[in-house]
Structure 1
Amino acid sequence: MNIHLSSKNTNPSVSIQITGSKSESNRLLLLQSLYPQISIDNISNSDDSEYMQKALKSLELEKEAITVVDIHHAGTAMRFLTAFFSIQNEKETVLTGSKRMKERPIKILVDALRQLGANISYENEEGYPPIRLQGKTLDGGKVTLAANVSSQYISALLLIGGRLKNGIELHLEGKITSVPYIKMTLALLEEIGLHTSFAGNVISVQPKKEVASKKMVVESDWSSASYFYSIAALSEIGSEITLSSYKQNSLQGDSVLAEIYRDFGVETSFQSNSINLKKTTDRKLKTVDYKLDNAPDIAQTIAVTCLGLGIACDLHGLHTLPIKETDRLAALKTEIEKLGGKVSITAESLHLRPTNTIKENIAIDTYQDHRMAMAFAPLAYKVPITINEAEVVSKSYPDFWKDMGSVGIKSIED
């Protein structure tokens, strides 16, 4: 479905409940399968988390059965479940996904698990899903891998570490990327009672068969909050948006939004379980420069915000974006240039030079990428715009279009 967006109300004053973090939910769902003593509140209602739950329920099938698990576009689930199913003793699983998922590399994680003794083979192309996992008991121990890979590979190994006979000790070679996501994983492990350490480039998780009963509450998703930061930045002075439920000391790397969007005149105040975004000034910045190694998922939102405000931007640390749901750097360049902006990209950066006049009624292609759809939607505050294949938002934020209506963005389905 294609959606045509426009807005006459650019001065919102609303409160919105955001679903639980997809990143936290998927980590805790896997941990709950390893440690049934855990209960979880405020689980994400995203497609990714639903696929994760469905995949984990496949364990209820007979041990002798070969289970085919299709996680569609859910990249986090693919990485986490690769590690999870590799330690399910006497359980054979074929893990597959969408056409795009079969183009996303998994070799680094598979090689690391093979170092531990895992029995994993490729069904088609070497290094890519689908993969076949012959689950077995693993002793664990030392594993070495490159530090600048997706943090999801590292988190996948850490999440199963406590159920390995000798725990796990990761030795990371080079500069570590997306550190907040690794720290999120370790913090959740500590919260349920496991012992971890992170010193230099060595991360370890000590073995533990059982944990005490504990209720875990998932914080709302900061990546989803980014689109409301963009709305606030593009709105009139005095606009206010309240989002819940959020923590001031968040585990999520994307919480850096509160600091970044100050540059665009948006002030964040923390209340008991929510954040209030208020547009306080129209800042006339000519250019901004951010290193987003620890929060690459908000790059698309920031680039579109800058386009809407007529601000140039240089965004660095984006080396993981080409292997996401689409090549996000190439996609951003194509779609922003449709609107009149000028974009150059490298293997790890994006450089935007904005336009004085954003073109109206341009149709934005989303490339089956939820963040492309959501990042461009706030531009409706500036010009009428069309989002193609708008249903893709369900991957992480099923209520997105309803909540856009709450801030005054009118949508008409094609």
Structure 2
Amino acid sequence: MNLVLQQSNIDKTQSSIKITGSKSETNRLLLLQALYPNIKLENISKSDDSDAMQMALAFNHQSSTINQIDIHHAGTAMRFLTAFFAIQENKEVVLTGSSRMKERPIQILVEALKQLGAEITYEENDGYPPIRIKGKKLIKNRVTLAANVSSQYISALLLIAPKLDNGLELTLQGEITSVPYIKMTLALLNEIGVETSFKKNTITVCHAELVSASKLTIESDWSSASYFYSIVALSGIGTEIKLSSYKENSLQGDSALTEIYKDFGVETTFQENSILLRKTNNCQLSIVNYQLNNSPDIAQTIAVTCFGLGIGCHLTGLHTLKIKETDRLEALKIELSKLGAIVSVTNDSLTIEKSNNLNSNISIATYQDHRMAMAFAPLALKTSIIINEAEVVSKSFPSFWEDLKNIGFQISEV
């Protein structure tokens, strides 16, 4: 499905949008719920990734000893489920996914689990899915990882740690990246009653055979909120959008949006369980610099916002974007260049030169990446664009296009 987004103006009066629960929190809590069934969850993410996670976890209740589980494009599910099934005694599964998933490395996590005694083999190419996992009791409790690896590898280990007889002591070597996602995992463990500590580069999670019954409400996704920050930034002064449900003391690293978008004239006000975004002034900067180690998922949104505002940007700390649904740095370079931007990328950075060039009626390729589709959509406030394979947004935000229509975007299928 390709969508044409005609150059649009959104209603400056306040619009309200309810955003689905955080995919990051949901997938962590779904795994913990599978380990501790007395946990109850509210505001579960309606994303494809979380649907894949729930589907895969349901296999664990089936009587057959061997199952093949296809998690399609769901990278978080692949990492978390690798750890989960490694500790399911007398169960054997083959985890596979889309053609892109088979290109995304899993070896770092597999080797860490093998340090603990896990039995995992590769079905096709060494280091990549599909993988065969023979679940067993893991006795060892110490593992070492490079600190700059994807936080999902680290979180996968931490999430199964309370079910290990001796808990887990995880040592990270070097400078740690994506700290907020690690802290999110530990905070959710604490919330269900698991004892943890994070001192210097050592994380300890204690064994917990049982946890007390609890009902947890999942905060809405800050990554999804980023597209509305971009919309407000690219709109006129006085534009307001209200989003729910958000917490001022969020566990999500992408809540850094509240500070970053001040540079673009967007003020955030917390109102009970909602946030009000308001355009208060026009950006006076010619270039911005952000270190996004702790929030790489909002890099695409920020890059497009800057280009739409005609200002330059230099974004760093983006090395994990190379192994996402696509190589997001190269994808951004290609698509922004088609629109008239002058872009350069390195292994962990992206730079856009200040420019007022903005070509019209350009088709944006999405590379099976939901964030490419959503990050570029706000540009329809400046020019008409076409989003190819627009249905990819269902991975994290199924109602995205309908929500845009409701606030005034002119969208039609082509």
> TM-score, structure 1 length as denominator?
0.99
In 2, the alpha carbon distance for the partners of 1:213 and 1:8 equals: 49
Alignment of 1:2-401 (within 5 A): 2-12=2-12, 13-62=14-63, 64-401=64-401
AA partner of residue 101 (structure 1):
M
Identical-residue share of aligned pairs (%): 66
In 2, the alpha carbon distance for the partners of 1:140 and 1:389 equals: 46
Q: Deviations over 1:135-160 (max 9, x none)?
A: 00112411001000000000000000
Shift of 1:11: 4.2
The answer (yes or no) to whether the contact 2:287–2:354 under 8 Å persists in 1 is: no
Q: Deviations over 1:207-243 (max 9, x none)?
A: 0110010001000000000000000000000000000
AA partner of residue 21 (structure 2):
G
Q: Which runs of 5+ in 2 are unaligned?
A: none
In 2, the alpha carbon distance for the partners of 1:289 and 1:140 equals: 44
Q: What secondary structure sits across from 1:145 in the alignment?
A: strand
Shift of 1:15: 0.5
In 2, the alpha carbon distance for the partners of 1:220 and 1:262 equals: 21
In 2, the alpha carbon distance for the partners of 1:45 and 1:173 equals: 36
In 2, the alpha carbon distance for the partners of 1:325 and 1:158 equals: 23
Aligned-CA RMSD value:
0.7
Dislocated runs of 4+, deviation >6 Å: none
Q: Which runs of 5+ in 1 are unaligned?
A: none
Q: What secondary structure sits across from 1:52 in the alignment?
A: helix
Q: What secondary structure sits across from 1:347 in the alignment?
A: coil
AA partner of residue 20 (structure 1):
G
AA partner of residue 196 (structure 2):
T
In 1, the alpha carbon distance for the partners of 2:68 and 2:27 equals: 19
The answer (yes or no) to whether the contact 1:178–1:294 under 8 Å persists in 2 is: yes
Instruction: Count matched residues.
Output: 413
Q: What secondary structure sits across from 1:162 in the alignment?
A: helix
Shift of 1:7: 3.9
Shift of 1:407: 2.1
Q: What secondary structure sits across from 1:320 in the alignment?
A: helix
In 1, the alpha carbon distance for the partners of 2:65 and 2:106 equals: 24
Q: What secondary structure sits across from 2:126 in the alignment?
A: coil
Shift of 1:33: 0.3
The answer (yes or no) to whether the contact 1:10–1:236 under 8 Å persists in 2 is: no
Shift of 1:354: 3.8
Q: What secondary structure sits across from 2:393 in the alignment?
A: helix
The answer (yes or no) to whether the contact 2:4–2:411 under 8 Å persists in 1 is: yes
The answer (yes or no) to whether the contact 1:178–1:295 under 8 Å persists in 2 is: yes
AA partner of residue 49 (structure 1):
S
Shift of 1:6: 1.9
In 2, the alpha carbon distance for the partners of 1:250 and 1:309 equals: 28
Q: Deviations over 1:52-85 (max 9, x none)?
A: 00000001211x4211110000000000000000
AA partner of residue 143 (structure 1):
V
In 2, the alpha carbon distance for the partners of 1:271 and 1:405 equals: 25
